Amino acid sequence: MHTKLLLTASIALALAGNCFAAVKDGSYTTTVTGHNAPLTVTVDIKNGKISDISVKDLESPGVGKVAIKQLSAEIKDHQTTKLDKISGATITSFSLLGAVKQCLKQAGAQGDEFNKPLPAADKSPIKDNADVVIVGGGGAGLASAVSALRNGASVIIVEKLGFLGGSTNVCGGALNASGTKYQKALGIDDNPQKHFEQTMKGGHNVSDPKLVKVLADNAPSALLWLESMGLKFNPKVGAATGALFQRSHYPNPAGGNTYVQVLEKQLQKYGKDKVRVYLESRATELIMKDGRVVGVKADNHGKPLTLIAKNGVVITTGGFGSNVEFRQKVNTGVWKEADLGKEIGCSNIGVAAQGQGLQLAQKAGAELIGLSDIQVHPNGSPGTGLMLDIKTSGRNRLFINTNGDRFVNEGAARDVLSKAVFAQPGSTYWLVQNKLRYPDENAIDLLSGRTMRDMLAQGRVKKAANLDELAKIINVDPNRLKAAIESYNKVARHEVETDQFGFKANHTDDRPMTEGPWYVARKVPTIHHTMGGIHIDTGAHAVNANGQRIPGLYAAGEVTGGIHGANRLGGNAVADLMVFGRIAGKNAAEAK
């Protein structure tokens, strides 16, 4: 009996020692729910180990796709699925790890052979220093970093997400600039003064005109600055949702991640002695000395970081659109009569839009202004608020309510559009487009950066051959739907100058919508931008309530206030972060 027990124990130990014994070589595939769409994951097993992971996905460039690449490499390197999720791409991370586990189970994995924890991370404190420390590695942070580097400074970027680019990665990418060669080629007459006036009007005339003038005057040179780095713009100038004019320039390929890639490539040209990036690192405090901001304290999953700035600190942490409690607390402005609670989603990356940069600046003495100026966008996807699928940007798209009627001037400002949606049954509507916007279902769309074929495959966009079929899909009276579309077409054909909602066909893309196929998706309002924030002057210096500069502190992008007033024009956000990001980086680099 004793001999038998020893033999059994010896066999068990041998099997335990060979942790891959039960796994069969081969390729194993599964499909799981992702963030944007299903992920199809294939895991290859060779000699009992994970040799390759391939993924078919429609995740966002710069976000979900980065998480897939990083985690796939870590799984192969460490032969384990017990890994931390990538901050800012939690859903994609969770989906990928779950899919790999399913594939391993198909291969015969049992127990914890591919679920071993990594060795404990080193928690030793890190101290580092540079001329300029930038808090937040989104679009404004990257623009500030490149600007500071080009002006001779060394730079540290501290970013709480697991990747650079922040919510700029998932924005539409429209950049408003006036008098450009692209506008001139299309016969569009525009200038900075017109851009200034429309920005003031669109913001309900509560913006700081000095800041707006800097934005309008410097947007054209910001566009040229990006081109000098190799960024390509689509020659077709559009009008982002609520832009009020045809001055929205889109990168090629479309989407905000294109800006991020171009700026990241610029960083890569400098060595580690000039630029260092700390990811997964949340700034917790600004370091003050004799009334001056001289650095930043941060935390990297329990590892303390002390980052000293010789010249200055630039805060570029974005807005607070995903901080439900805070946005409800300050919602006393344009949307004071609306419930901006948890039922309303946010188009930005949730963990990136919490408003922590505002708290850091306020503790250092900076004034916060315009916090009640919150922007609601009409292009949200039900359930999440993400701006997926067909877009409200551009022209030749109709807002149709659940009764089958148009209900708003489709060329109006964003607050007008969103308020009109809130007034509809169920606070929802159908966004309707046709062959004009998608003449080729296999071509990449200028505004979404994706093909109609991919959008249809996901199921949120529906296709109809004609208006009768479309009416069945959205469950409305076909005659009522046809009458609604004809009211739009009369203006597009210039049979009338304007319709009952005030729509005018004053865009070079305006055409009658008559020919199928038709495409439709349901939309809801979503929190998109918070216009209030750190009070800055025209040099991107943070100032206190008396207008005095906080020595050593700068800010740029959505974390600032005063530029967009009570309503931001579509296409002005990218212009803002590029214009003021450049200014903040330059001034911080040259500070004494």
Show the 3-state SS of 82-118.
CCCCCCCCHHHHHHHHHHHHHHHHHCCCCCCCCCCCC
Report the candidate in 361, 356, 438, 355 with the shortest Cα–Cα distance to residue 397: 438
φ/ψ (deg, to 5) at 589: -65, -35
Tokens, residue 495: 């049979």
Cβ atoms of residues 199 and 177 within 8 Å: no
Q: DSSP assignment, residue 210?
A: H
Q: What is the largest CA-CA distance in the chain?
A: 100
| CB-neighbour burial class of residue 222 (10 A; exposed 0-12, middle 13-18, buried 19+) | buried
Cβ atoms of residues 122 and 61 within 8 Å: no
Is 414 labeled as catalytic in the residue annotation?
A: yes
Q: What angle do CA 569, 416, 320 make, to 5 degrees?
A: 55
Q: Where are the alpha helices (H) located in 112-178, listed in sequence order?
A: 139-150
Q: How many CB atoms lie within 10 A of CB 333?
A: 17
Q: What 3-state DSSP class applies to 579?
A: helix
Q: How many CB atoms lie within 10 A of CB 274?
A: 16
The whole-angstrom separation of Cα 376 and Cα 32 is 31
314, β-bridge pairs: 134, 554
Identify residue 123 by its one-letter amino acid code: K
The whole-angstrom separation of Cα 226 and Cα 219 is 11
Tokens, residue 210: 């000095």
Tokens, residue 422: 């809130």
How far is CA 221 from each of CA 61, 165, 207, 316, 579, rounded to the nearest angstrom?
Answer: 26, 21, 22, 21, 8
Q: Which of 247, 327, 406, 414 is catalytic?
A: 414
Active site residues: 414
